Amino acid sequence: MKVLITGVEAFVASHLVDYILENVPDAEIFGTSRRLADRANIAHVLDKIKILDMELADYHSVFNVVDSVKPDKVFHLAAQSFVPASWTSPAATIETNTVGTVHLLEAVRKCCPSAYVHVQGSSEEYGMVLMGETPITEGNPLRPLSPYGVSKVGADLAGYQYAHSYHMNITRVRSFNMTGARRGEVFATSNFAKQIAEVELLIREPKLLHGNLEAIRDFTDVRDSVRAYWMLSEKEAHGDVYNVCSGKGWTMKEVIGILIECSGSNAIALIADPERMRPSDVPILIGCPYKVNEFTGWSVRYDFKETMAYLYDYWLKKLDLTYGKK
């Protein structure tokens, strides 16, 4: 079985590689990566997978990769996934996330039309969630509040269109916030964990910079999420969409409190940073996992506090290797 994973060097994709290597012994894994990309997340598996250079914005690059591999399964995880960056580069975000997805779907349609395709969406597609609309089901209206959210709606609907127009084997997945080891430090939970670890290692003063602490998010351990992705890939797909989420919400303030508990550093001042505030922010995103639960039997295994400990331990070890305890 040939499995193609786009953006293989990134946070989620690297965990999917780990899952497949551990649980699917007959899989031959091909991963796409941009040239000069940091491959630290997959350094431990580079001898077990094949890396191919690919630029999503370049259709010929995408076509050549898909044509050379002719995969049985495609997990499209490559994206510009940092929401604040989409405000400064909205057109580039839409080109990468929406147009890039169309490039991939078109290449699969021409080269290996029977292949399973996972189209990665996001809870940011739901955007403005009104009172009484949580937990969010797949039938909720899509009201994106960021260029990133708009770009993911485009990719999502492209998946729907290709599935129904060309009878392709496509599943659309709207993942809510994922976290865990290897999460990029620009993302809130990882950034908080890094700052607190720096305090514990005496690298920084006991101060933590933050954005909106009242935003409520539904977090899933990345190890649970990639297990859901694989379980969905083993079912017959008809362009359907599934939320992958825990069904529970946490404020950013609660997240910081849990991470501080992990560290044992209690006297940390919380300081609002205007640079971390967005022009508009989604106030609450809590998903309903019922549909994916019923379809695959999947459910979360990791408690959120366990996930935060996993993330915090990652940063503590990473920073300690770099700086050493003072």
Q: Which residue has the tokens 């379809």?
A: 295
Position 141 scores a pLDDT of 97
Reduce the DSSP state of residue 119 to 3 states and report it: strand
**240 conformational bin, left if phi > 0, alpha if psi -120 to 50, beta if neither:** beta
Position 325 scores a pLDDT of 46
Q: Which amino acid is at 270?
A: L
Q: What is the DSSP string of 236-254?
A: --SS-EEEE--S--EEHHH
Distance CA 234, CA 231 (A): 5
Token pair recorded at residue 147: 């260029």
Position 86 scores a pLDDT of 93
**Per-residue burial over 283-317, b = 16 or more CB atoms within 10 Å of its CB, e = otherwise:** ebbbbbbebbbeebebebebebeebbbbbbebbbe
Token pair recorded at residue 302: 């990791």
Q: Which residue has the tokens 């508990």?
A: 261
Nearest residue to 97 via CA among 147, 158, 37, 155: 155
Phi, psi at residue 190, to the nearest 5°? Answer: -70, -40
Burial class, 133, CB count within 10 angstroms (exposed 0-12 / middle 13-18 / buried 19+): middle
Token pair recorded at residue 187: 């993302």
Distance CA 227, CA 298 (A): 8
CB under 8 Å to 41, separation ≥6 — which residues? 9, 10, 11, 14, 182
Position 280 scores a pLDDT of 61
Position 326 scores a pLDDT of 45
Position 234 scores a pLDDT of 97
Position 321 scores a pLDDT of 79
Position 165 scores a pLDDT of 98
pTM: 0.94
Position 36 scores a pLDDT of 84
Would strands 207-210 and 241-244 be described as parallel, antiparallel, or unpaired?
unpaired
H/E element, 120: strand 116-122
Domains belonging to the chain, first-starting first, are 2-178+220-244 (3.40.50.720), 183-217+248-286+302-323 (3.90.25.10)
Low-confidence ranges of the chain (pLDDT < 70): 278, 280, 324-326
Distance CA 301, CA 116 (A): 26
